[in-house]
Amino acid sequence: MIILDGKKVSNEIKDEIAAEVQKMKDRGEKVPHLAAVLVGDDGASLTYVGSKVRSCERVGFESTMVRMSNTTSELELLKKIHELNENDDIDGFIIQLPLPEQINTQKVLMAVNPDKDVDGFHPENFGKMALDMSTFIPATPFGILELLERYDVETKGKHTVVIGRSHIVGRPMSILMGRRGFPGNSTVTLTHSHTKNITQITCQADIIITALGQPNFLKAEMVKDDAVIIDVGITRVPDENAKRGYVITGDVDFENVSKKASHITPVPGGVGPMTIAMLLKNTLLARERHIMANRK
């Protein structure tokens, strides 16, 4: 059994990006600049954004964190997004989700300039991804593809089962695994909360990608021998014996499923670190595109 070590691979990617940024500096070019908009004071969101800012520092990017209060109106946020769209110094930016209930998330994501949408959430970028065109791939699916590629996990002709149909992970993952090329060329089944007899389906899978957010959902009896398991789930489960009062748990019963799997991602340390690394990669891509556009 091989652990798909997202922490290790993400560090390799960050080193590669840092080397590219150094070349930009040596040529006298502006380095990539990533901005993150955080509305409210959600603890998990603050942690995520802080981690993204530190990662920017590590690779030599400029970064800006835009903090807005929990009472921010939709109009105020849309105005801020317009400012970021118009700011030529910023190559890409993200809106940290979830947003407060007074704000329409879809409306906000639609307002982001697709050329700066390094999260890959805008319909224009999602549509290009679905059509196999060059675009920003959502960071988590992008990270999973990179893990599969760097560990040389065979996907051609394999049966991939995706559990969860979110716009951020499940649905794009189902499209990407069925595309031509590597990783891809697999036969994909997309399952969700209304899927009947899900165990019958997962037992046929060569590759299972689960993004459900239900701790320990995928049990050993739901997996065939030598399956590849990608666990996107990350949930804080209360635990009185743990130092912080909780443990981080994925969708997969790791202890038992890992005994049957050929490859598996741990939680934490699997898909999570890859998401931030690929967000940086998308920002580097955005900067390179802006350089090319300015040369025309």
**Complete domains list, the chain, with CATH:** 28-113 (3.40.50.10860), 139-272 (3.40.50.720)
Known binder of ligand: residue 234? yes
Q: Mean pLDDT, 10 residues at a time, over the chain (296 residues)?
A: 98 98 96 97 86 95 96 97 97 95 96 97 96 96 98 98 96 97 97 95 98 96 98 91 90 98 97 96 96 82
Catalytic residue among 52, 80, 116, 158: 52
Q: What is the pLDDT of residues 38-67, one digit of tens each?
A: 999 888 888 889 899 999 999 999 999 999
pLDDT of 145:
98
Catalytic residue among 5, 119, 206, 253: 119
pLDDT of 79:
98
Instruction: Tell me, yes or no, if 88 is annotated catalytic.
Output: no
Distance CA 35, CA 81 (A): 11
Distance CA 112, CA 16 (A): 28
Known binder of ligand: residue 248? no
Instruction: Tell me, yes or no, if 200 is annotated catalytic.
Output: no
Q: Which residue has the tokens 């690779």?
A: 59
Total-model pTM: 0.95
Q: What is the pLDDT of residues 252-278, one digit of tens each?
A: 999 999 999 999 999 999 999 999 999
- φ, ψ of residue 284 to 5 degrees: the values are -60, -40
pLDDT of 48:
86
Q: Count other C-beta atoms under 10 Å from residue 75's C-beta.
A: 9
Catalytic residue among 14, 96, 206, 281: 96
Instruction: Tell me, yes or no, if 52 is annotated catalytic.
Output: yes
Known binder of ligand: residue 165? yes
Torsion (CA) 228, 218, 163, 95 in degrees, nearest 10: -100
